Chains A and B, each alone.
Chain A
């Protein structure tokens, strides 16, 4: 559209072979769509009729498709010449953009929380305008939440340990670092599970504080599960020797994702556990 060009072909000087990875036809996208349809139908049936069969089938097929699809991607990455440098850059864009959208997903839950944190009067006339709600016992931020904060911060260092080993070509160190990171992820989830089962407020009909607390920390917990699974896959791939100092984007994507999960937790810890604590805390 610049001023000097008058026809479409005028602007083409010459051609060069394309450097991209054009994938062959695949059935996984269609099956993925069907799996999502089954999963969401399953949630509706479970909620309304207490029938979990469709949900189980939906989740099973979703996880199967994810496994088979990503197995294809991993196999393609091992074929020399398919994932050239421009394709690797494209994958980086994809992962960075995906994490950006995840940030906005958490923004909606923080928005919900801060709506009541800054404007407790929006809670309705039956509630005193204070946050956390009057008489509520919250979780002591300096018990398990602090431990979990330390746990995730430590896991941020162990993933970096694994990364540096990878860059140095020390695969044994990479495996060790990843193994410790996965263990720390599992430890975090155990802490979260203990905290949920011993929570001073219930999830079901627990009111707005419980709703805001559980949705934000719950979706964070789901992301820790996803991140731990991602790191576990990287652990197996590292043990299979699939990474080398120059080609290890799968690992880097997992590390980015893990740091993102870590940062979300820091916000949760400061904003919900610490700033949202009541005068008297349980535990």
Chain B
């Protein structure tokens, strides 16, 4: 990797960080104080990223099992339907709550939001650490929910009656439900922390509209979490009470209404998809701008687009329920409101392209992932417009077209943004460069692998293959075989990623403060690489 573009100014800024470093007696705490008692946003961010690697690995192994089962018709790798249902449930929940969210919000948000706004740490450092430990406790619970007895077979959406006491009598389902409480409390406390940090701890002169887009994306995300997570908590509480304490919120025999759960769940669940993708938008803006060596095109439009997406995201939830028996009027409203989201999303996509337009583009690994993100996210967005049609959704609901859609926006969109951010910032976090060649190998194997996995699923869905079944008629065999081959290729690409991790952490090479050169303009590039334990104990005054 050539880090030749040194900035003549960069030697000036790191000095204050070093001075501050010396002021504090507790410069380098021991292992227990550093990792179990941490009040440092970078160390907590590292813990979150570690959690994401673990959660993503377990979730990824589960998807390999699923694709192995579906490789040929009438396979018996998964021995029974309950086991299959447990695997799909845990895969969904793990990938959302223990992979994407800890990587983007807990990990990169913790690492870089305080640095980008010129703050020494988060507003509530102990609370920040407790957010992480609640997530870790939740991980224990979701693994118990996967492995005790028959596991949790309700799917990640946890619809009753699938998870009521008649159909899921075991304690595993309760562990899975409480794991959402733990992850939810974690996210909620984290959201409060991020909002308080961003609103209250910006450096002098860092006005809201000078703030980098990643901070804006985390701010909007945090508001979505703050308002959506408690509704999930209420719904999950009602489920737990229905199961264990004789209430009948979702039990028709006692007068309850199962569709009510779907409303409550998706009032959380739809903002949740923006919770996963907005931080990705933030990362992509930085990467595209850096490697095009241009400021982001239409900064203000990008901010308002994110705020709009966040707001509209709250009023479209029932497009997940077009076949749940909601009225025609509701379907018309939720269809139209959903289509509105394409407008601010389009603003973002066109602004990224306009940022690249006329730029001096460098195809480093992070930029490849960012362009990959834009490409795949647009495909996933286009199929989203298809699914938003209430009439078409009547046909496509709960089949593989839907699976392809949301894996294009999440497992390809959000995950590509995570890797873009990883390669963009790993030098700042670890102090060592990643091997550029292997980074590109990782990108291309993943890019080909995931497209092979998910693109054929559009065809399977249009042909009528339903989701969440461990078997299918012979007619679907061809594309399922292709899809499984793609999945194993992307699984193999994960091995490349672990090899890259090994190379980074065994590397002896060091990096300058701003190793990307003139395109990297945000404040984290003003501190040394790796960022010292304490940054900005003297806060910068922004011009």
- Interface check A23, CB cutoff 8 A: yes
- Interface check B492, CB cutoff 8 A: no
Known contacts A7-B7, A37-B141, A94-B123: A15-B539 contact under CB 8 Å: yes
Interface residues as binary, B226-262 with A (CB distance below 8 Å gives 1, 0 otherwise):
1111110111011011011111110011111101100
Q: CA A28 – CA B129 in complex, angstroms? A: 9
B538 near A93 (CB under 8 angstroms)?
Answer: no
B296 near A127 (CB under 8 angstroms)?
Answer: no
Known contacts A25-B33, A29-B130, A104-B231: A36-B255 contact under CB 8 Å: no
Interface residues as binary, A1-25 with B (CB distance below 8 Å gives 1, 0 otherwise):
1110111111111111110101111
B540 near A122 (CB under 8 angstroms)?
Answer: no
A13 near B137 (CB under 8 angstroms)?
Answer: no
- Interface check B81, CB cutoff 8 A: no
A7 near B9 (CB under 8 angstroms)?
Answer: yes
B178 near A2 (CB under 8 angstroms)?
Answer: no
Q: CA A22 – CA B123 in complex, angstroms? A: 9
- Interface check B133, CB cutoff 8 A: yes
Residues of chain A in range 126-151 having any CB-CB distance to chain B below 8 Å:
126-127, 133
By beta carbon, the residue of chain A nearest B178 is A40
Taking the closest CB of chain A, its distance from the CB of B310, in whole angstroms, is 15
Give every chain B residue within 8 A of A103 (Cβ-Cβ): 230
Known contacts A28-B126, A40-B141, A97-B195: A18-B120 contact under CB 8 Å: yes
Residues of chain A in range 200-221 having any CB-CB distance to chain B below 8 Å:
203-212, 214-215
Q: CA A27 – CA B36 in complex, angstroms? A: 7
By beta carbon, the residue of chain B nearest A39 is B178
Give every chain A residue within 8 A of B246 (Cβ-Cβ): 203-206
Known contacts A9-B7, A16-B538, A101-B188: A33-B133 contact under CB 8 Å: yes
Q: CA A212 – CA B539 in complex, angstroms? A: 51
Give every chain B residue within 8 A of A275 (Cβ-Cβ): none
Q: CA A69 – CA B189 in complex, angstroms? A: 16
- Interface check A34, CB cutoff 8 A: yes
Give every chain A residue within 8 A of B513 (Cβ-Cβ): 8
Q: CA A14 – CA B543 in complex, angstroms? A: 9
Select one of A7, A12, A203 contacting B540, CB under 8 A.
Answer: A12
Give every chain A residue within 8 A of B104 (Cβ-Cβ): none
Known contacts A108-B230, A207-B248: A122-B260 contact under CB 8 Å: yes
- Interface check B37, CB cutoff 8 A: yes
- Interface check A112, CB cutoff 8 A: yes
- Interface check A116, CB cutoff 8 A: yes
- Interface check B10, CB cutoff 8 A: yes
B238 near A23 (CB under 8 angstroms)?
Answer: no
Give every chain A residue within 8 A of B16 (Cβ-Cβ): 15
- Interface check A109, CB cutoff 8 A: yes
Q: CA A69 – CA B129 in complex, angstroms? A: 13
Taking the closest CB of chain A, its distance from the CB of B357, in whole angstroms, is 15
Q: CA A224 – CA B113 in complex, angstroms? A: 36
- Interface check B532, CB cutoff 8 A: no
Q: CA A134 – CA B525 in complex, angstroms? A: 68
Known contacts A1-B296, A23-B39: A29-B126 contact under CB 8 Å: yes
- Interface check B213, CB cutoff 8 A: yes
- Interface check B182, CB cutoff 8 A: yes
Q: CA A18 – CA B534 in complex, angstroms? A: 12
Known contacts A18-B537, A20-B120, A208-B254: A13-B38 contact under CB 8 Å: no
Q: Which of A5, A8, A103, A206 has the most CB of B within 10 A?
A: A8
By beta carbon, the residue of chain B nearest A2 is B210
Give every chain B residue within 8 A of A205 (Cβ-Cβ): 246, 248, 254
- Interface check A67, CB cutoff 8 A: no
Taking the closest CB of chain A, its distance from the CB of B128, in whole angstroms, is 8
Select one of B37, B522, B524, B536 contacting A25, CB under 8 A.
Answer: B37
Known contacts A33-B136, A105-B233: A133-B255 contact under CB 8 Å: yes
Q: Chain B contact residues (Cβ within 8 angstroms of A): what range? A: 35 or more
Known contacts A18-B537, A22-B39: A7-B514 contact under CB 8 Å: yes
Taking the closest CB of chain B, its distance from the CB of A172, in whole angstroms, is 34
Taking the closest CB of chain A, its distance from the CB of B232, in whole angstroms, is 8
A26 near B37 (CB under 8 angstroms)?
Answer: yes
Q: CA A211 – CA B253 in complex, angstroms? A: 13
Select one of B10, B192, B230, B295 contacting A107, CB under 8 A.
Answer: B230
Q: Chain A contact residues (Cβ within 8 angstroms of B): what range? A: 35 or more
- Interface check A123, CB cutoff 8 A: yes
B249 near A112 (CB under 8 angstroms)?
Answer: yes
By beta carbon, the residue of chain B nearest A218 is B241
Taking the closest CB of chain B, its distance from the CB of A110, in whole angstroms, is 9
Give every chain A residue within 8 A of B522 (Cβ-Cβ): 1, 8
Known contacts A13-B541, A40-B141, A205-B248: A108-B521 contact under CB 8 Å: no
A13 near B543 (CB under 8 angstroms)?
Answer: yes
Interface residues as binary, B260-284 with A (CB distance below 8 Å gives 1, 0 otherwise):
1001100100000000000000000
Taking the closest CB of chain B, its distance from the CB of A206, in whole angstroms, is 8
By beta carbon, the residue of chain A nearest B237 is A215
B263 near A207 (CB under 8 angstroms)?
Answer: no
- Interface check B73, CB cutoff 8 A: no
- Interface check A79, CB cutoff 8 A: no
Select one of A12, A25, A34, A102 contacting B542, CB under 8 A.
Answer: A12
Give every chain B residue within 8 A of A123 (Cβ-Cβ): 252, 255-257
Taking the closest CB of chain A, its distance from the CB of B237, in whole angstroms, is 7
Interface residues as binary, B26-48 with A (CB distance below 8 Å gives 1, 0 otherwise):
10010001101111000000000
Known contacts A5-B521, A7-B10, A13-B205: A90-B196 contact under CB 8 Å: yes
Q: Which of A7, A69, A212, A214 has the most CB of B within 10 A?
A: A7
Residues of chain A in range 39-53 having any CB-CB distance to chain B below 8 Å:
40, 43-44, 47-48
- Interface check A236, CB cutoff 8 A: no
Known contacts A97-B195, A112-B264, A115-B257: A29-B10 contact under CB 8 Å: no
Q: CA A112 – CA B242 in complex, angstroms? A: 13
A90 near B200 (CB under 8 angstroms)?
Answer: yes
Q: CA A30 – CA B132 in complex, angstroms? A: 9
Residues of chain B in range 289-331 having any CB-CB distance to chain A below 8 Å:
289, 295-296, 299
Q: Which of B10, B233, B260, B524 has the most CB of A within 10 A?
A: B260
Select one of A40, A107, A126, A206 contacting B181, CB under 8 A.
Answer: A40
Q: CA A32 – CA B230 in complex, angstroms? A: 20
Taking the closest CB of chain B, its distance from the CB of A45, in whole angstroms, is 8
Taking the closest CB of chain B, its distance from the CB of A167, in whole angstroms, is 24
Q: CA A25 – CA B247 in complex, angstroms? A: 43
Give every chain A residue within 8 A of B526 (Cβ-Cβ): 8-9, 12
Give every chain B residue within 8 A of A47 (Cβ-Cβ): 174, 243-245
Residues of chain B in range 175-222 having any CB-CB distance to chain A below 8 Å:
175, 178, 181-182, 185, 188, 191-193, 195-196, 199-201, 204-205, 210, 212-213
- Interface check A124, CB cutoff 8 A: yes
Known contacts A22-B125, A208-B248: A1-B134 contact under CB 8 Å: no
- Interface check B337, CB cutoff 8 A: no
By beta carbon, the residue of chain B nearest A45 is B171
Select one of A36, A90, A101, A210 contacting B230, CB under 8 A.
Answer: A101
Give every chain B residue within 8 A of A11 (Cβ-Cβ): 521, 523, 540, 542-543
12 contacts between A and B (CB under 8 A): A1-B522, A2-B210, A7-B525, A28-B126, A34-B133, A103-B230, A104-B227, A107-B230, A108-B234, A111-B234, A122-B259, A123-B255
Having A12-B540, A15-B540, A27-B36, one finds 18 other A-B pairs with CB under 8 Å, namely A5-B521, A7-B7, A8-B513, A9-B514, A11-B521, A13-B540, A14-B541, A25-B34, A29-B127, A33-B130, A44-B171, A44-B175, A47-B174, A111-B231, A112-B238, A112-B260, A208-B249, A210-B247
